A and B are shown apart, each in its own frame.
Chain A
Amino acid sequence: MNKLANKTYTYYFLLPAGIVYFVFFLLPTIMSLFFSMTWWTLTDWEFIGLENFKTFLSEPSLNIGFKNTLIYAVVTSGLKVILGLLLGVYLSSKLKTVGFIRSMIFFPTLLSTIAVGIAFTMMMHPSQGIINIVLSGLGIVGPDWLGDTDIALLSVALVDVWKGVGMATVIFIAGIMSIPQDYYEALKIDGGNAWHNFKSIIIPLSRPAMNTVIILSFIGGLRSFDLIWTMTKGGPGFSTDLIASIIYKQYQAGFFGLSTAGNVILFILVSALAFPLYSYLNKKEVDL
C-alpha cells in the first residue's frame, strides 16, 4: 500500500501547503524563539540571553496576570461544558422548535468578538446600561460590572461564555446524536428512567465531544485576548490583565524582544497545561 502511494504521488504535491506552513508558521516560531533572547528594535538587535525572560517574569502585574488567566480559563471552559451539555441534551430531543432554538444558541458564535465586546461594554454601564436598568426595575441595585475590580474579570468571562456556548452545544449535539439507539432500548428494557439515561448513557458515551469542548475552550481561555482588550483593556488598573494583554502592552510600548519572550512563556504555559490535560482526558474515553 505504501509503495503504491509512493509511486502514484510525488512529494511535490506537498509543496504549496508546505511552503505556506513553513513561511507563516514554522519560520515565525523559530524566529520568535531567537528574538525572545535579544534586545530588538525591528531594525536592530543585540543578543542578551535570558534577560528578557527575567524582566518579563519580574513584571509587577504578572502575578495578577497568571492568576487571572487561570481563573478565566477554568471559569469559561467549565461553564461552557456544563451549559453546553445541558443545552445539547435538551436540543437533541424531539422538540418542535428545535431548529429555531439551535440557531438562537449558535448565533452569538457568528458575531465578531470586538462587536460583542463593545455592545456588552455599553450594556454593562453602571447606570445607563440596559442590564442594570432592568435590574433596578426588579428592585435590585446592579453592580458596576466592569468597574468593580472584584467582579470585572467574571463579567468578561460571562460574555465569553455567552458567545462561545453555541459552539460547545453543537459539538455536544453531534456527540449525543452519534450514540446508537440500542443503548437507550437496552436501558428501557432494564427499566431505567430519564436520569439513568443521562447518567449512564449520555455522559459516558459523549465523552469524546466533552473532551473536545474542554480542550478547545480551555486553550481558548488561556490565550484569550480580544474580548478582554475590547471591554476593559486589562483595567481598572491591572485588575483584569491576562498574560496575553500584558504581552500586548509590552509590544505597544515598543519592547519587541520582551513581548516575544512573553509569547514564548505563554506558549510553554499553554503546552504545559494542555498536553497533560489532553492525555488524561483521552485515557478516560470509552469505545462506543
Chain B
Amino acid sequence: MFNTKRKKLVPLLLSSALMAGILAGCTSKEETTSDGGKSSATETVTFLIDNQTQLDGIQAIIDEFEKKNNIKVEIETRPGGAEGDNIIKTRLATGDMTDLVWNNSGSQLQALNPEQNFVDLSKEPFMESIMDDYKAAVSANGKVFGIPGTPTNAGGWLYNKKVYAELGLSVPKTWEELMANNEKIKQAGKTAVIGTFKDTWTSQVIVLADNYNVLQENPTFAEDFTANKAKIATTPAALRSFEKLEEVFKKGYLNKEFLATGYDAGLKMLADGEGAHYPMITFALANLATTYPDKMQDIGVFAQPSDSAEKNGLTVWMPAGIFINKNSEHIDAAKKFLEFYVSQEGVTIYSSKIPPTGPFAIEGVEVPDDVYPAVKDMIQYFDAGNNAPALEFLSPVKGPSLEQITTQVGSGISSAKEGAELYDKDVEKQAKQLGLEGW
C-alpha cells in the first residue's frame, strides 16, 4: 500500500512541474495592432522601438506624416538592452514582428540575420542621400537594410572654449600639440584632462576615439582584426591608442580623484571650466544641454589627433536604424514613411524637437543654424570627408572587459602593452562565443 502511493508521487510531481513550465511559456503577449474603429481606407503601420530612445522627435515626424498621408503609424515600445534583443529575436522567429523595427546598426544588426528578416532598400531612391559609411553599418552581402534613426555621434575631445581663449590656446592638430596644451593648462592650475573612471565606460573613449587614426595607418585593420589576422598588441597603430591613454595618466594631466569621479561630475567640471578637456562621445552634449543650457556656447569638440598633422579626422558612432520587416503586409506604406523620415522636412521636424548633437548621416540635408557650436565643429570634419566609423561598427568583435582594461591602463595599474595583450585575450573569448571564422 505504502509502496504504490510512493510510485504515484513521482509522476505526479513531474507532471505538475511540467504543467507549471507550460503555463509559464504561454504568457500572452500584450499586443494592440487592432485597426478597429478606423475607416478601412486608413492603413496602419506598426513600429517597435526600445523605451530608452527619446521619442519626441520621432513622434513629431509621425504626426506630420499622418497628416499628409492616409497612413497611421503606431509605436509599440520594448525594453532596451539584452532583454530587448531577445524580444526582437523571438518575435522575428515567430513571425510576430511589427512592420517597422528600430535596432542598433553595426554588429548588433548582424546578429539578427538581416537578409532573412528585413526588406532590402538598396534600390530605393531615398537611399541615395544616405552616407556611405552608414550604409556599410546596415548592410549585409551588398544589400542595405536601414535608414538612420537619429543624428550621428562622434568620439573626440570635448573642450571648454573659454579656457582655451583665456590661456591663448588653439585647437591641436597633432598629439604632441595636444600634450603641449595640456601642459599649459596644468601650469595654469586647472585640470587638463577630466577623468571619470568611477563610471568605468568613460575610460574607453581615448582608445575607441582613436580608430580614425588607426585606419589611416592600417586601412584594412578592421577586416584583419575580425578575421583574427591582426592583434592590437602587435599592430603599432592600434597599440598607439592604448599608449595615448597611458601617456595622459603618466604625465599627471588627469584630475586628482579621477577614480572617484563620475560622468555627471565630469560634465560639471567641463561646463564650469574647472577642467579643459573631456575625452567623450558627443551624446554628452544632450546631457550638458539639459543641465547647463547657458554653457553650451563654451563647449567645443575636436577629433583625437594623430601623430601627424596631415592625418586628422573624427571617429564616428553610427546611429540606430529603422528597418522594415520582410513579412510585413504594409511594405509600401512603411517605405513611404522611411522616405519622409530622411527627407529635409523630416530632419527639420526632428531637429525642432530634439536639438541635434551631431550631423545627420544624410547627405544634403541642412541642420538648423542655431545648433550647438560643438556640432558645428563636428560638421567641419564631415564636410571635409575626414571621418571614419568606430571599430565596433566595422567589426562584430568587441571584448566585454575593455572598460576594466582601460581603467587599468588609464590609472597606471598596467602598462599600455599589457593592457593591449589582455584585451586581445578578451576579444578572443568573445569571438569564440560568437562563433566567428578564423578564431
- Is the CB of B404 closer than 8 A to any CB of chain A? yes
Question: In the bound complex, do residue B17 and residue A19 qualify as a contact, i.e. CB atoms below 8 Å apart?
Answer: yes
Complex interface: chain A residues within 8 A of B425 (CB): 60
Question: In the bound complex, do residue A43 and residue B93 qualify as a contact, i.e. CB atoms below 8 Å apart?
Answer: yes
Identify A18's interface contact among B13, B82, B260, CB under 8 A: B13
Question: In the bound complex, do residue A236 and residue B433 qualify as a contact, i.e. CB atoms below 8 Å apart?
Answer: no
- Is the CB of B344 closer than 8 A to any CB of chain A? no
Which of A82-90, A141-149, A198-206, A212-220 sits within the interface? Answer: A141-149
Q: How far is the CB of B198 from chain A (nearest CB, A)?
A: 9
Q: 1/0 contact trace for A236-278 toward B, CB 8 Å? A: 1111000000000110111100100000000000000000000
CA distance A126 to B255 in the complex (A): 13
Question: In the bound complex, do residue B429 and residue A144 qualify as a contact, i.e. CB atoms below 8 Å apart?
Answer: no
Chain B contact-residue range equals 35 or more
CA distance A175 to B432 in the complex (A): 54
- Is the CB of B228 closer than 8 A to any CB of chain A? no
Identify B257's interface contact among A126, A236, A252, A258, CB under 8 A: A126
Q: How many residues of A contact B (CB 8 A)?
A: 39
Question: In the bound complex, do residue B404 and residue A237 qualify as a contact, i.e. CB atoms below 8 Å apart?
Answer: yes
- Can you name 19 extra interface pairs (CB under 8 A) apart from A147-B260, A234-B404, A237-B411? A11-B5, A15-B13, A19-B16, A19-B17, A23-B21, A42-B86, A43-B90, A55-B432, A60-B425, A126-B260, A146-B260, A235-B200, A236-B259, A237-B404, A237-B408, A238-B408, A250-B400, A252-B82, A254-B433
Q: Using CB atoms and an 8 Å cutoff, list the residues of chain A in contact with chain B.
A: 6, 10-12, 14-15, 18-19, 22-23, 27, 39, 42-43, 55, 59-61, 125-127, 144, 146-147, 149, 233-239, 249-250, 252-255, 258
Complex interface: chain B residues within 8 A of A43 (CB): 86, 89-90, 93
Question: In the bound complex, do residue B17 and residue A249 qualify as a contact, i.e. CB atoms below 8 Å apart?
Answer: no
Q: Known contacts being A235-B407, A255-B433, is A15 close to B86, with CB within 8 Å? A: no
Complex interface: chain B residues within 8 A of A144 (CB): 257, 259-260
Q: 1/0 contact trace for B390-420 toward A, CB 8 Å? A: 0000000000110011011001011000000
Complex interface: chain B residues within 8 A of A6 (CB): 2
Q: How far is the CB of B400 from chain A (nearest CB, A)?
A: 3
Complex interface: chain B residues within 8 A of A254 (CB): 82, 433
Q: How far is the CB of B268 from chain A (nearest CB, A)?
A: 13
Majority secondary structure, A binding face: loop
Instruction: List residues of B (244-268) whose CB comes within 8 Å of A's CBs.
Output: 256-257, 259-260
From B425, which residue of chain A is reached at the shortest CB distance?
A60
CA distance A11 to B3 in the complex (A): 11
Task: Give 6 A-B contacts (CB < 8 Å), ordered by A residue.
Answer: A15-B13, A22-B17, A43-B86, A60-B426, A125-B260, A236-B411
Q: 1/0 contact trace for B1-33 toward A, CB 8 Å? A: 010011001001100110011000000000000
From A59, which residue of chain B is reached at the shortest CB distance?
B429
Identify A19's interface contact among B6, B20, B90, B408, CB under 8 A: B20
Instruction: List residues of B (276-326) whose CB comes within 8 Å of A's CBs.
Output: none
Question: In the bound complex, do residue B400 and residue A15 qualify as a contact, i.e. CB atoms below 8 Å apart?
Answer: no
